[in-house]
Amino acid sequence: MGGAFKQIKDIYKLQKEAREMQKKMKNIHVTGKSDDELVVVSINGTQEVEDITIEDRLLSPSEKKIISKGHKTSLKGRTKEASKGTDERYGPWPTKGHAWRISHEIAP
């Protein structure tokens, strides 16, 4: 019975660590710019698009709003889907002390 309790305790600890890491990742902010710097995209460490800025001279304010919102909406969740696909193909991200299984097969 003591082994089961330890496993539950370990799982709780891992969940707590994962929540803390998620918070830290959300506080990482990265900005990418087009070569001409007319379009700027900001994402956080969980790969969520936080902002898309389009230079005023490219579009009217209403067009910018529509395009920016459309891009954010279309990208929302896509990174999670990509991550899920990677997990299904290669296994989940490695935990401390475990290597990530990567095969050398060619993607279809």
% residues pLDDT > 90 (the chain) = 4
- The per-residue b/e assignment along 54-83, b for 16 or more CB within 10 angstroms, e otherwise, is beeeeeeeeebeeebeeeeeeeeeeeeeee
Residue 93: pLDDT over 60: no
pTM: 0.56
Angle, CA 38 vertex, CA 31 and CA 26 arms, to 5°: 20
Cβ-based neighbour number of residue 30 at 10 Å = 11
Topology classification of domain 26-78: Ybab; Chain: A; (3.30.1310)
Q: What pLDDT was estimated at residue 3? A: 82
Q: Give me the residues paired with residue 32 across strands.
A: 41
pLDDT digits (tens, 9 = 90+) for 32-85: 998 998 888 888 888 888 888 888 888 888 888 888 888 888 777 676 677 776
